[in-house]
């Protein structure tokens, strides 16, 4: 803080939602800006309720936080309204005038394209919606009457808040290995997912950012097709307690052990200044619910040290359970 970008260090689903919700509760965050689109589901457990948010920023758990969707984002109008209702944030959420709209036809195009299907897309239509924006025929948020009361100038608001020394969180989606530029092309999403791209989509210049917080999970997962180094079988994943089902699409997630080489590269490309590691308790069950680093078992501490050594980035947050507050916060 004051301006922190949160990004994923693997193939998405690292637990960005959990880390963002923790930060929003603790800091407290004044402004949280979501980028990307509806393909990403950020899971947040708060007050024993689970939220899988595709549009509303994860900072919603902080009741004073202003929530914004950036100009570079693609807004799914129906999903936006569903989530605004579910989270009760009607009076404090805004959508940038310049954000693009993702429509049902884009989803139909996504699902009926053999090529996109072969890449294992989520089927929400994000690729086709971005294509249409690039062709300059896409609808914008300002063309949708129901969005009128929500329209905002996000870059103005963000930069004013930063200028005033407020806490601003820029919420990235997916992970670096799904980036159109840096990922396992062509098995990637339709946009860059790096910290620089998140800033660009929110309208915040690189000199205004104080921290880039990269989120890793203690093991790696990926949904859809494409390479996953060190992949283990579903049976093995179940045995280890790593097996997950995608929050957004309900598909099985593939899994592999923590990948130090990918983590190093991810930290470099994102210019990460801090790291978070989630789900440490899935790899080292004795860690469950622990809030103090000193109380971690020796192997778990060793793993964290190794991540710091190999990425060159201090691990400031460690997830030890599903609730937003099951975290070891090493900034203290």
Q: Which residues are catalytic?
A: 13, 42
Number of residues that bind ligand IMP (CB under 6 A): 21
Quick one: which of 4, 6, 8, 13 contacts Mg ion (CB under 5 A)?
Answer: 13
41 makes contact with Mg ion (CB under 5 A): yes
Choose, by CB under 6 A, the member of 65, 73, 176, 223 that binds ligand IMP: 223
CB atoms within 10 A of CB 282: 21
193 binding ligand IMP? (CB under 6 A): no
Question: What is the nearest approach in angstroms of ligand IMP to the Cβ of residue 324?
Answer: 19
12 lies in the binding site for ligand IMP (CB under 6 A): yes
With CB under 6 A as the contact rule, which of the stretches 117-125, 201-209, 228-236, 307-315 interacts with ligand IMP? 117-125
Q: Which stretch binds ligand IMP (CB under 6 A): 134-142, 187-195, 282-290, 295-303?
A: 187-195
- The nearer residue to ligand IMP, 187 or 303, going by C-beta atoms, is 187
Contact between 311 and ligand IMP by CB under 6 A: the answer reads no
Residues 144-173 that bind ligand IMP (CB under 6 A): 173
Asked if 9 contacts 263 with a C-beta cutoff of 8 angstroms, the reply is yes
Q: How far is the CB of 60 from ligand IMP (least distance, A)?
A: 18
The yes or no reply on residue 224 touching ligand IMP (CB under 6 A) is: yes
Nearest C-alpha neighbor of 190 from the set 265, 106, 274, 251: 106
* 320: partner contacted, choices ligand IMP, Mg ion, none (Cβ within 5-8 A by kind): none
Bridge partners of residue 329, in order along the sequence: 317
13, 14, 211, 281: which one contacts ligand IMP (CB under 6 A)? 13
Q: Which stretch binds Mg ion (CB under 5 A): 34-42, 68-76, 160-168, 182-190?
A: 34-42
Site for ligand IMP in 242-271 (CB under 6 A): 248
How far apart (Å, rounded) are the C-alpha atoms in residues 245 and 188? 19
Structure tokens at 146: 């129901």
Of 40, 199, 266, 300, the residue at the interface with ligand IMP (CB under 6 A) is 40
Does 180 engage in binding with ligand IMP (CB under 6 A)? no
CA distance 38 to 190: 12
Measured in degrees and rounded to the nearest 5, phi and psi for residue 214 equal -100, 130
**Which of 15, 70, 190, 321 contacts ligand IMP by CB under 6 A?**
190
| Binder among 122, 159, 194, 259 for ligand IMP (CB under 6 A) | 122
Q: Using the rule CB under 6 A, which residue among 21, 62, 174, 273 binds ligand IMP?
A: 174
**Does residue 267 contact residue 311 with C-beta atoms inside 8 Å?**
yes
Contact between 171 and Mg ion per CB under 5 A: no
Residues that bind ligand IMP in the complex, under the rule CB under 6 A: 12-13, 39-41, 119-122, 124, 126-127, 173-174, 178, 187, 189-190, 223-224, 248
Residues that bind Mg ion in the complex, under the rule CB under 5 A: 13, 41, 247
């Amino acid at each position: 803080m004051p301006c922190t970008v949160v990004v994923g260090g693997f193939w998405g689903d690292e637990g960005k939602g959990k880390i963002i919700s923790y930060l929003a509760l603790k800091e407290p965050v004044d402004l949280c800006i979501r980028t990307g689109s509806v393909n990403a589901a950020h899971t947040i457990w708060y007050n024993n309720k689970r939220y899988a948010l595709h549009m509303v920023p994860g900072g919603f758990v902080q009741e004073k936080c202003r929530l914004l969707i950036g100009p570079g984002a693609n807004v799914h109008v129906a999903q936006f309204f569903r989530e605004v209702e579910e989270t009760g944030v009607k009076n404090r959420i805004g959508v940038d005038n310049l954000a693009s709209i993702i429509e049902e036809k884009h989803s139909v195009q996504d699902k009926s394209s053999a090529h996109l299907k072969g890449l294992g897309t989520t089927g929400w239509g994000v690729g086709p919606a971005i294509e249409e924006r690039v062709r300059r025929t896409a609808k914008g948020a300002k063309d949708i009457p129901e969005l009128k009361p929500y329209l905002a100038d996000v870059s103005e608001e963000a930069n004013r808040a930063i200028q005033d020394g407020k806490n601003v969180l820029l919420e990235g989606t997916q992970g670096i290995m799904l980036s159109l530029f840096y990922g396992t092309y062509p098995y990637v999403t339709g946009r860059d997912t790096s910290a620089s791209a998140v800033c660009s989509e929110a309208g915040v210049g690189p000199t205004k950012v104080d921290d880039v917080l990269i989120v890793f999970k203690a093991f790696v997962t990926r949904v859809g097709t494409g390479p996953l180094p060190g992949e283990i079988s579903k049976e093995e994943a179940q045995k280890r307690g790593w097996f997950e089902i995608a929050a957004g699409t309900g598909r099985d997630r593939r899994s592999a052990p923590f990948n130090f080489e990918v983590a190093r590269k991810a930290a470099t490309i994102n210019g990460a200044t801090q790291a978070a590691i989630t789900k440490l308790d899935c790899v080292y069950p004795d860690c469950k619910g622990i809030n103090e680093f000193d109380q971690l078992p020796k192997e778990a501490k060793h793993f964290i040290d190794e991540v710091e050594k190999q990425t060159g980035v201090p691990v400031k947050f460690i997830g030890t359970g599903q609730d937003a507050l099951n975290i070891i916060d090493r900034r203290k």
